[in-house]
Amino acid sequence: MKKFLLIISFLFITSNVSANQPKDWQLGFQNPASDGMRDIVNFHNNLLLPIIIAISVFVLFLMIYACIRFRASANPVPSKRTHNVAVEVLWTLIPCLILIVMAVPSFKILYKQDTIPKAEVTVKAVGYQWYWGYEYPDENIIFESYMIEDKDLKENQPRLLAVDNELVVPVDKVVKVLITANDVLHAWALPSFGVKRDAVPGRINETWFKAEKVGTYYGQCSELCGIKHAFMPITVRVVSEEEYNEWLMDAKVKFAKEVIEEDQLKRLASK
């Protein structure tokens, strides 16, 4: 009975706390953790994929039919037909209609992504060669996030994805992300939230997400930015509002201390 209760409790916990990251031999999207990503997955699986499969099957059928029907042995005297007006009109109009069918819901999703609701939390992500810097402008918190080296990884920390300082946000809150870069082009991408924005030096791009589940979510820089492009991951930890407030209090002390120590080291180096 105790084992059964433990299994049930484990399943309950894992259903409410997730750690979304790429898996070996994964073919589809990561599980959506926001309404925006769910829209993307539904658009892909319920509209794009059926249309693409239908077009592929139809084109394959035409190729096989043409190879068999118009082979040299069956047509000793080749046709001299140069065009067919009806066919040309059809193969122009039908693809246009298909594109319109795909474009309308696509534009709706893009408009929803670009229309940022009233932000409850604002963070700024700055791309560097090769790590991410984060700022909480309203809380006066600034820190840097570096990938953890293989030799320093702890249990359950994914290779090339775990970082020393995670971006922490509350669950069920609108998080506005300001994205820029300090040197070259980067891109801040988080698949579980359906977020991907270029980080451009001298320019600030905006995006947003509202995480629906507590857990840890992983992303990576998605713009080729140099030899260590693959080594600047993104880790976002989604917590309850109570945990978030506790983290804010600790972060204000922790990162203020790190800034002071860094300033002291710079002064010593200058001497």
More confident residue, 80 or 43: 43
**Domain match, 262 and 140 both:** yes
**Domain match, 53 and 70 both:** yes
The verdict on residue 107 lying in a domain is yes
More confident residue, 157 or 246: 246
Residue that terminates a domain, selected from 58, 87, 114: 114
**Domain match, 137 and 218 both:** yes
The verdict on residue 15 lying in a domain is no
**Hey, what amino acid is at 233?**
P
**Domain match, 149 and 264 both:** yes
8 Å CB contact between 113 and 194: yes
The verdict on residue 17 lying in a domain is no
Per residue in 183-235, pLDDT tens? 999 999 999 999 999 999 999 999 999 999 999 999 999 999 999 999 999 99
The verdict on residue 10 lying in a domain is no
The verdict on residue 52 lying in a domain is yes
**Domain match, 129 and 103 both:** no
Angle between helices 35-43 and 85-114 (to 10 degrees): 170
Q: How big is the chain, counted in residues?
A: 271
Instruction: Give the count of domains, the chain.
Output: 2
Per residue in 97-127, pLDDT tens? 999 999 999 999 999 988 999 999 999 999 9
**Domain match, 176 and 266 both:** yes
**Domain match, 89 and 190 both:** no
The verdict on residue 244 lying in a domain is yes
- CATH of residue 188: 2.60.40.420
What is the rounded average pLDDT of the residues 64-84? 85
Per residue in 129-183, pLDDT tens? 999 999 999 988 999 999 999 999 988 889 999 999 999 999 999 999 999 999 9
Encoded tokens for 170: 């509350």
**Domain match, 125 and 107 both:** no
Please identify which residue in the block is written with the tokens 């820029």. 180
Residue that terminates a domain, selected from 79, 114, 149: 114
Confidence of residue 11 (pLDDT cuts 50, 70, 90): very low
The verdict on residue 6 lying in a domain is no
Q: Count Cβ neighbours within 10 Å for each residue of 170-204 and write b for 16 or more, e otherwise.
A: bbeebbbbbbbbeebebbbbbbbbbbbbbbbeeee
Backbone torsions φ then ψ of 129, nearest 5 degrees: -90, 105
The answer to whether residue 59 scores a pLDDT higher than 60 is: yes
**Domain match, 68 and 141 both:** no
**Domain match, 141 and 41 both:** no
Residue 45 is classified by DSSP as I
- Structural domain including 62 reads 35-114
- From residue 41, give the alpha-carbon distance in Å to each of 31, 45, 48, 106, 222: 9, 6, 10, 12, 19
The verdict on residue 200 lying in a domain is yes
Residue that terminates a domain, selected from 114, 147, 179: 114
**Domain match, 131 and 107 both:** no
